[in-house]
Amino acid sequence: MKTQTVLTSRKPQPGTMLIIDDDAGIRGLIRSVAERQGFEVTDCGRSEDAADAAEERAPAVITLDLSMPGCDGIEVLRQLSAKRIRARIYLISGLCKRVLATASDLAHTLDLDVAGTLRKPFDIAQLRALLAEEWRFEKVLTAADLRHGIERGELVVHYQPRVKRHGERWVISGVEALCRWQHAQHGLVMPDAFIPIAERSGAIGALTNYVLRETIEQLARWEAAGHRLTASVNISGALLGDLELPDRLATMLSTHGLTPDRLILEITETAAMADPALTMDILTRLRVKGFDVAMDDFGIGFSSMQHLFRLPFSELKIDKSFVLEISKSANARTLVSALVELAHNFDMSACAEGIEDEDILGFLTDAGCDTGQGFLFSPAVPEQELIGLIESDAFSTSQDKVPHSA
């Protein structure tokens, strides 16, 4: 079996924080709030020294000012990525929201964990709340806790309905499987709080395998109850180095009397390009075996078109950040229409995330989008609630009733 050579960085030290800002007043303010929350804080006033400081100190949390003399924050992000810094990063700037959002998107393409943004001048209460939440998860939710949670069966899978367009009608055709942590002390913990822990600790492969097993077993139970559904599952980049994955998944489905076309595997661009040659091998074998493979969060990365052209995806998922703007932005409408057309020209289906109102649904219908999901239909729910939703009128819209696809 072929293995990948992966550069590693020091494991982030729990409860530690690095402030990168050329303004001594801002550094002092953030330090004061963070230390009251319990963080062990160091700071860096020179952007040229920031990446080396992050590598040396291995902080769990970094705040980064984007507008600094010498080496600006975007250059610092590239340097942090090159050193494979695994801290949770908060971007801070007095620039407009659009610049902050773009910088955040860029950081994600660089495989950095951007947890949020703050605009200067920021509200001290906002900073305090942000760091309080960060402290809560940094100190309470650890990699060891996550491993024990997996072993104790505390991880659960919820399912968000996916609807499919048939002419002017939308029918429920499947679900997306989304993991939650039913923590004994903290209740239901959402993935944003523990997926980065899983990625940093190396537990993401075991977590993804758990979701796959649970989802396939659930598909079989729904099949036995007369509900033929597909399920999409997010696949970690950690599994894309496993040449046995296609055969293992096919066997898991066959054991439960299911065929590969019942499972859609969602791959982000970042995960797909960790080792392009190996990814091409695995994705092509998955398609040969009958699996559908979706490129998730399309449009976020700089080189999405190249990857879309070279890799054998069967579905393009349009990121919700574009879809949510449809009702407010002519540019978003133009972009989403172009992405739907692009998918079809590549002989792929187009799936829109973030459908939250009927105006968005109407636009996607006119644009020819094939499938979609969003809060207009339902958030992710436990499996026992899903069938009740499907069999009720919960998916009625003024355009048409959205029935279950038998």
Alpha helices of 38-112 — where are they, by DSSP H? 50-57, 73-82, 97-109
The pLDDT value given to residue 93: 84
Residue 307 pLDDT more than 90?
no
Which domains, ranges and CATH numbers included, belong to the chain? Answer: 13-140 (3.40.50.2300), 143-391 (3.20.20.450)
- What does the mean pLDDT of the chain come to? 84
The pLDDT value given to residue 305: 67
The pLDDT value given to residue 216: 97
User: Could you count the other beta carbons within 10 Å of the beta carbon of residue 324?
Assistant: 18
User: Could you count the other beta carbons within 10 Å of the beta carbon of residue 17?
Assistant: 29
Q: Which residues of 222-244 are buried (b: 16+ CB within 10 A; e: fewer)?
A: beeeebebbbbbbbbbbbbbbee
Tell how strand 169-183 and strand 155-166 pair up: antiparallel
Summarize the confidence of residues 2-16 as an average pLDDT. 56
- Token pair of 132, please? 């309080």
pTM: 0.67
**pLDDT-based confidence at 318, cuts 50/70/90?**
very high
What pLDDT, in 10s, does the model give residues 159-183? 999 999 877 778 889 999 999 998 8
Q: What are phi and psi of 318, to 5 degrees?
A: -85, 125
Q: Which residues of 45-74 are buried (b: 16+ CB within 10 A; e: fewer)?
A: bebeebbebbbebbbbbbbbbbbbeebebb
What pLDDT, in 10s, does the model give residues 119-130? 887 777 778 888
Integer Cα distance of 247 and 260 in angstroms:
11
